[in-house]
Amino acid sequence: MAMKAQFLRLLPLLLLLLPPPLSNYLFTDDGALGDSAGKGQLHVYHPIILFPGISCPNLDARLTDDYTPSLPRCGAFKGKGWFPLWNNTQDVLDHDYLPCIQEQMSLVYDPVLNEFRNQPGVETRVPDFGSSYSFTSKVKLGNLDMFCMLKLRKALEAVGYRDRDTLFGAPYDIRHAPLSPGQPSRVYTDYFARVKDLVHHASKKNWNKPIILLGHSFGGKAVLDFVNLTPLPWRKKFIKHVVLIAPTPPTGFLEVLRNLASGPSVIRVPAVPWLGLRPMWRTFPTSLTSFPSHRVFGHQPLVVTKHRNYSGYDYTDFLTALGISTNIIKQVLPMKLTVHAPMVPTTYLSGVGIQTPDRAVYWDSNFDVQPDYVYGDGDLVINKVSLLAFVKEMSKQQQLSNIHFKFVKIVNVTHSNIVFLERPLRIVMAEILEANSRRDIM
């Protein structure tokens, strides 16, 4: 009987290691095993909460009487309740709503509260919190589930996970980010409280089993920020394992500076250049996170212009050159780019071997054009030097406390492809199932 139980526990992992044609024959369309194995689902051990990348969560809005639209069409939903503000970006173009979405999503800095808030008369919420279906790709690409962990979710469902039963989602407001100590973020205080309640709910629903927290890209940062704000005894009781898939590291990466200078590549509206979203992006605290740390990048020029170069020691001058508000600069610069390991069993997966911008070059000192690049190694987004510094420090902290830490390097895989191409997805799934079966003592 014990041998049978052990076999069933390892069966999902064994199936993932089979060549695609054979594994496809063993799985039916509904995710169960073939007829010879019966119709029952594979046994699922620990519930999983998914934290998506920054382009994936949705955002609803409600316009109150205090809202004064800059254009008549921007007030079309005023007084009509909640409506999707950030969801299918093609709809934004079809209804000529781009100026409105830029206005209604933009934040304003409140120096009295020392934090960011919505425009007057604009209320927002993140819909469907708790569901693994609560985040979607904003750019529709036919039937290809290429982004936002949609293929990963399907792979988890194929081995028996079910939405709101054993599989959950923790979407967040993409505009906000946890700030440094002493600088409040009401939005993230509320968000982390909801995540904690979700952990309790998922655990109680599954016979008080601890949870696996899984985050991709900015979602990985959200996982780490959440875990590191919880008491250690609580973590040991409720968190089985942390799985980080290409997380955005606190050691920083170059794309953050380029996004701020010339518009975001991380959020997209079809046919709208990055520059067209820059004013809105610069109002988001998200845009100010993960600046490349001078402790990692040193005096290396990160942004090169005709008149001067900017390194990790020159952010005051760089932000001033971009025209960023003095209040914002004061808020960003005190942030300490330090690494805090989660101090629970952790698996970290990342792509490498891809040309990744190491330096942005603006030949004419004009930030209104896209720069040329000097390339190094990484996953197309995260610089390898930052990745390795982050991994080294986390590994050291975990090992000093004898807590499991595993780093999985996947060659020739990009930041986005890691969660939907077949080869890396099989590796990711194998690590998730391994985390399920580990017997860690903390």
Please give the positions annotated as active site: 217, 379, 415
The DSSP string of 363-400 is: TTS-TTSPPEEEEEEEBSSSBHHHHHHHHHHHHHHHHH
Query: Distance between CA 24 and CA 224 in Å, rounded?
Result: 35
- Residue for token pair 């004898």: 402
Separation of alpha carbons 206 and 174, rounded Å: 29
CA nearest neighbour of 56 among 254, 235, 268: 268
Look-up: residue for tokens 């052990």? 6
CA dist 437 → 26, 75, 341 (Å): 22, 53, 22
SS3 302: coil
- Candidates 350, 352, 312, 360; CA nearest to 333 is 312
Would residue 181 be called left, alpha or beta, if left means φ above 0 and alpha means ψ between -120 and 50 degrees?
A: beta
- Secondary structure E strands in 198-299: 211-216, 239-245
**Token code pair at residue 63:** 């316009």
